Amino acid sequence: MSSVIKSLAALIISVLLVHLTYIGIILPNAELSIERSKQQGQTAPRDFFVILKDLEQEICIILMLWGTYLIISKIISISQDHYLLDEKLVNFSEIENDNIIEAARTMRQRLADLPKEVIKTPLVKTLMLGLDRFLITKDVHYTAEAIDAQMDALLLSMETENSMIRYLIWAIPSIGFVGTVRGIGQALSQADQALAGNIAGMANSLGIAFNSTLVALIISIFLMLLLHQLQRIQDGLIVDIRSYCEKHIMVPIGQSR
């Protein structure tokens, strides 16, 4: 299953889970709290269910679950491939041939014989590119430039893949602001009632405004924390791959010349 299909499936599951939770738990409890407060002549309480009851909060929670899935799936993918950094995928000392060119060709063939899912990993791709460049140019400097260029391309690719997560982190506070505007609009439409002495309607409408903003900001802070953790892991992967290539390709090639 491709990553796009998995992402869409995660979004659909998030919508269903959150909506069913709202229908079965949040909305009934919120309506019960509001009705109880009306009977007592009070404004709606600011309890957990009342804060979450509106449409904007539901959308924000759906996007939070989807964004969390996107981030965690990337972290898991990096963690699953991290074991390769402990393996000697390229080991020139195992080659008895003193010809560094033939040794590099042998190492390149070993990498090509690895399983397809391993070949697709960033580390193996970088190793194969470095060896290919060395076999073509026979120059360690061009090999280093090829590895550096691959690291830059990998970093750019990771930044591009994170664009949807950044969009969600931007969109969630915007959705909260939509709820704020809606709540303030409803409150202003009930200004005549407030002037007459009945402020319950205006207070409830202002509650919609403040609750949506509160929930959206909390969710955006949470997702931003996860995104920073993902970026830290991605940056660490770049550093580890560069160090691996330096140790297992650049140093042996440099010592042979």
* Residue reference for tokens 């060709």: 105
SS3 content of the chain, % helix, strand, coil (to 5): 85, 0, 15
- 216, 60 in Cβ contact below 8 A? yes
pLDDT at 255 over 70: no
Looking at residue 63, its pLDDT comes to 95
Q: Has residue 197 got a pLDDT over 60?
A: no
* Model pLDDT for residues 232-241, shown as the tens digit of each residue: 999 999 999 9
Per-domain boundaries in the chain: 1-257
Is the predicted pLDDT of residue 177 greater than 90, yes or no? no
Q: On the CB side of 169, how many CA atoms lie within 13 Å of its CA?
A: 17
- SS3 readout for 120-178: CCHHHHHHHHHHHHHHHHCCHHHHHHHHHHHHHHHHHHHHHHCHHHHHHHHHHHHHHHH
pLDDT of amino acid 205: 60
Confidence at residue 105, expressed as pLDDT on a 0 to 100 scale: 86
Neighbours of 39 (CB within 10 A): 8
pLDDT (average), residues 195-223: 74
Placement of tokens 């390149």 in the chain:
108
pTM: 0.84
**How far apart are the C-alpha atoms of 160 and 11, rounded to whole Å?**
20
pLDDT in tens, 37-74: 777 766 666 778 888 888 888 999 999 999 999 999 99
Mean pLDDT in the chain? 84
Query: Contact at 8 Å (CB) between 58 and 74?
Result: no
CA atoms of 239 and 151, how far apart (whole Å): 9
Check pLDDT > 60 for residue 87: yes
More confident residue, 241 or 198: 241
* DSSP symbol at 24: I
74 and 80 Cβ atoms separated by less than 8 Å? no
What single DSSP character describes residue 114? S
pLDDT (tens digit per residue) in 139-174: 888 888 889 999 999 999 888 889 999 999 999 999
* Higher-scoring residue by pLDDT: 12, 257: 12
